[in-house]
């Protein structure tokens, strides 16, 4: 509803505001895309959903092109089929959230990254920088993806200086796209920043009441006493860091919980699809989740679990020397998950990297056929550890839901 309200405000000429009050709590790109749709088709929910249908279809095409470039055409077709019929991705089309557009632009960025040798053409550099800018204005923590790209460039050029010099135009294009929004925030809030919710999200992941997922209690919450968005964010970072330093045991527990919530069944999606007004009166979310059909919930998550574990196998056991872009994929996945281990985890946050897991899962089929994988003791240990963590967290979740 916030995204819809922001888009309406922009469409009516009232700026990026909620009820007339300027805000930087949400990033601007998604409401801006909605405004473009509103300008053409009017304020229609269906038209926005059709934009997301188009974006998700584009993701299918981009995934096919990436897999064909990385692996073989047969593997690309398998990945295309797996993503096209994967229910979680398709169902998000109906929701006013950033995930569908963000996933499409993220795959476009990866495709542009792998388009050429280290010497990108000028047009590709500008497009790549702008694409990184768009995904950052969709989700500000996408700065971590841009960072992963720069690290990848530095590693493959084997020189920090050369890695940055070769990508100056990409960096400039990226900054140029972000600059107007940051100037706007400087004017309105005296903060040269992309968003004002970073500190709030950090505090949600680091406080006495934290549970590893989204839990924001308004009662007795110190953040609620601060009116200015950016002051609240600054205070959130300060309080969160203080808690992190003084409660290392709790922080270790939160780290596992964030990982578990990142890969958990998508309860929020199920809740959206089966919404009942009486759920608003329930004291705990788990009481709502227990009303979901176990067979549907397990069936949907079983598909995710198979893809994640099989994709994990591909990521770990792939023959590094055979696939020159594998490091970039690994960095993006690790950095993306890592960003939510810093803040808090939720199932929908994994949606943008599911195409990459699907790509690596389908690669596993090709690897077994061609025997082109690499097995070492350290890789076996890492795969076993992560698989046990995933299976353990999923088992605990379903036990808590239906047997506790």
Please report whether residue 105 resides in a domain: yes
Please report whether residue 36 resides in a domain: no
Please report whether residue 276 resides in a domain: yes
Q: What is the mean pLDDT of the chain?
A: 92
* Sequence-separated (6 or more) residues with CB below 8 Å from residue 60: 80, 83, 84
Query: What pLDDT, on a 0 to 100 scale, did the predictor assign at position 117?
Result: 55
Q: What is the per-residue pLDDT across 10-55, written as a single tens digit (0 to 9) for each?
A: 999 999 999 889 999 999 999 999 999 999 998 889 999 999 999 9
Please report whether residue 22 resides in a domain: no
CA distance 308 to 359: 10
First vs last C-alpha separation in the chain = 34
Q: Identify the H or E element spanning 190.
A: none
Q: Compute φ and ψ for 28, nearest 5 degrees.
A: -85, -15
Q: What is the per-residue pLDDT across 264-300, written as a single tens digit (0 to 9) for each?
A: 999 988 888 888 889 988 888 888 998 888 888 888 8
Q: What is the per-residue pLDDT across 41-100, written as a single tens digit (0 to 9) for each?
A: 988 899 999 999 999 999 999 999 999 988 889 999 999 999 998 887 888 998 999 999
Please report whether residue 35 resides in a domain: no
In total, how many domains does the chain have?
Answer: 1
Give the tokens for residue 394: 């999923």
Give the tokens for residue 377: 């003791």
Q: Which domain holds residue 60?
A: 44-402
Please report whether residue 16 resides in a domain: no
Please report whether residue 4 resides in a domain: no
Please report whether residue 381 resides in a domain: yes
DSSP 303-370: HHHHHHHHHHHHHHHB-TTT-TTHHHHHHHHHHHHHHHHHS---GGGGGGGHHHHHHHHHHHHHHHHH
């Amino acid at each position: 509803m916030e995204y819809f309200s922001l888009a309406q405000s922009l469409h009516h000429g009232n700026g990026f505001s909620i009820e007339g009050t300027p805000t930087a709590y949400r990033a601007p790109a998604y409401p801006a895309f909605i405004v473009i749709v509103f300008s053409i088709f009017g304020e229609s929910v269906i038209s926005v959903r059709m934009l997301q249908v188009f974006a998700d279809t584009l993701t299918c095409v981009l995934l096919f092109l990436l897999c064909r470039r990385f692996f073989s055409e047969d593997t690309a077709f398998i990945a295309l089929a797996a993503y096209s019929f994967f229910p979680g991705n398709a169902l998000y089309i109906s929701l006013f959230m950033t995930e569908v557009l963000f996933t499409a632009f993220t795959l476009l960025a990866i495709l542009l990254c792998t388009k050429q040798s280290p010497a990108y053409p000028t047009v590709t550099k500008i497009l790549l920088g702008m694409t990184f800018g768009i995904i950052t204005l969709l989700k500000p923590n996408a700065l971590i993806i841009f960072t992963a790209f720069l690290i990848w460039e530095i590693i493959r050029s084997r020189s920090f200086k050369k890695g940055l010099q070769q990508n100056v135009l990409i960096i400039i294009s990226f900054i140029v796209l972000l600059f107007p929004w940051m100037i706007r925030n400087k004017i309105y809030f005296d903060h040269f920043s992309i968003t004002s919710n970073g500190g709030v999200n950090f505090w949600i992941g680091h406080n006495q009441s934290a549970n590893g997922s989204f839990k924001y209690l308004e009662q007795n919450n110190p953040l609620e006493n601060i009116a200015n968005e950016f002051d609240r964010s600054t205070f959130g970072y300060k309080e969160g860091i203080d808690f992190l330093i003084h409660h290392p045991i709790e922080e270790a527990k939160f780290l596992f919980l964030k990982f578990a919530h990142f890969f958990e069944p998508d309860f929020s999606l199920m809740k959206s699809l089966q919404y009942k007004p009486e759920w608003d009166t329930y004291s705990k979310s788990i009481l709502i989740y227990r009303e979901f059909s176990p067979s549907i919930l397990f069936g949907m998550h079983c598909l995710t679990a198979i893809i994640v574990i099989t994709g994990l196998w591909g990521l770990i056991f792939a023959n590094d020397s055979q696939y020159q872009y594998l490091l970039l994929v690994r960095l993006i996945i690790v950095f993306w998950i890592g960003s939510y281990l810093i803040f808090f985890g939720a199932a929908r946050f994994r949606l943008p990297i599911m195409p990459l897991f699907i790509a690596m899962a389908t690669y596993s089929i090709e690897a077994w056929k061609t025997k082109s994988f690499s097995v070492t003791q350290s890789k076996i240990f890492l795969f076993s550890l992560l698989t046990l963590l995933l299976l353990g967290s999923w088992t605990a979740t379903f036990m808590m839901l239906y047997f506790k």
